[in-house]
Each structure stands twice: as structure tokens, then as C-alpha cells.
Amino acid sequence: MDRIQWAWLRERPGTPVASIGVITRIWRVAKLLQDDRRRTLARLGVDTPTLDLLGTLRRAGPPYRLTPGELARATLVTPAAVSQRLARAEARGLVRRDRSGPDGRSVTVALTPAGHTLVERTVDELLTHEEALLSALTGGQREELAGLLRLLLANLTGRAGAEDRPSRPG
């Protein structure tokens, strides 16, 4: 990254290149972590969308049950994506859909014992593995990095939200 940054400075003096040292490193770290997580989850017998679904239900606390709309909001995916995830997880016996309400049209999604077992085992192994990936950083460095990334993410999220809002006429 440093060579790329310096090459741009050499070729285009005055060009603001400091972002290369941050953003390009974040992209690279994200790619490495994404690839590692995919391999780790494959070894554990689950994919990222399924773990996201099961983990969201597990973090909801007993009775580990949410509506499809609550799942969509919590996982930041569309209702259609939640529906697909539910169908796959239900086919594997990891969740069940329960109908309720006076007309039976309300649906809640609950973890099954098999889903609960899978998410518990997977989270333990995944987080232990990912803890080892961060071993090059001290506890203080991890806290500092998490704080800086929190600030950057909040700023970027705020910018994205502002771009999605319609502008008000003068």
C-alpha cells in the first residue's frame, strides 16, 4: 500500500493519497477475513447467511423466537432474503415457523434444538478462531482499533443515509 501511495505522489504531486493507506488496507483485511470466515464456516458445516439467521435468533434470548420482519431488521437484509434463509434453515431442521393469531396469519420463527446446538458449537469455535486472528494486537490496540472503526463506520453510515434521503426544496 505504501508503494502505491508513494507512486501516486511521484506521478501526481499534490494528489491526496493518504486514504490509500487506510482504505486499501481495510479492503485487503476485509477480503482476507471474509475468505477465512467462509472456509472456517464451511469446515463447521454452516454458511454465513444461516449463521446470521441462527445467531440473531440465539441472541434474542429465550424463547429464541422472532417474527420474519424482526429478523429482516436485525440482519439488515430484505424480507425476501429472510424468506430464502428461513426455507433453507427449515429444510435442515434448524428453525421452525409457528403460526399464531386469531386468523393464523402471524408467523414467528424459533430455533429448534438442532439449530440451537449448531449455533452454540459454531459460535464457540468461530469466535475462538477469530480471537487467534487478532493475536498480533494487544488488548489496548484492539480497543483502540475498534473505537476508530466505530467512528469511521458511523460517519460512513450517516453519509450513506443522507445520500438516500430526498433533498428538500429550497
* Alpha-carbon span 94 to 50, nearest angstrom: 9
- Give the pLDDT confidence of 89-104 residue by residue, as tens digits: 999 999 999 987 777 7
Compute the 3-state secondary structure of the chain and give helix, strand, coil in percent, each to the nearest 5. Answer: 70, 10, 25
> Residue 110: exposed, middle, or buried by beta-carbon count in 10 A (0-12, 13-18, 19+)?
middle
Residue ranges of E strands in the chain: 65-66, 95-100, 106-111
> Model confidence at 170, in pLDDT bands (50, 70, 90)?
very low
Helix (H) or strand (E) holding 48: helix 48-59
Helix (H) or strand (E) holding 91: helix 79-91
Mean pLDDT of 143-164: 88
- Name the average pLDDT for the chain: 92
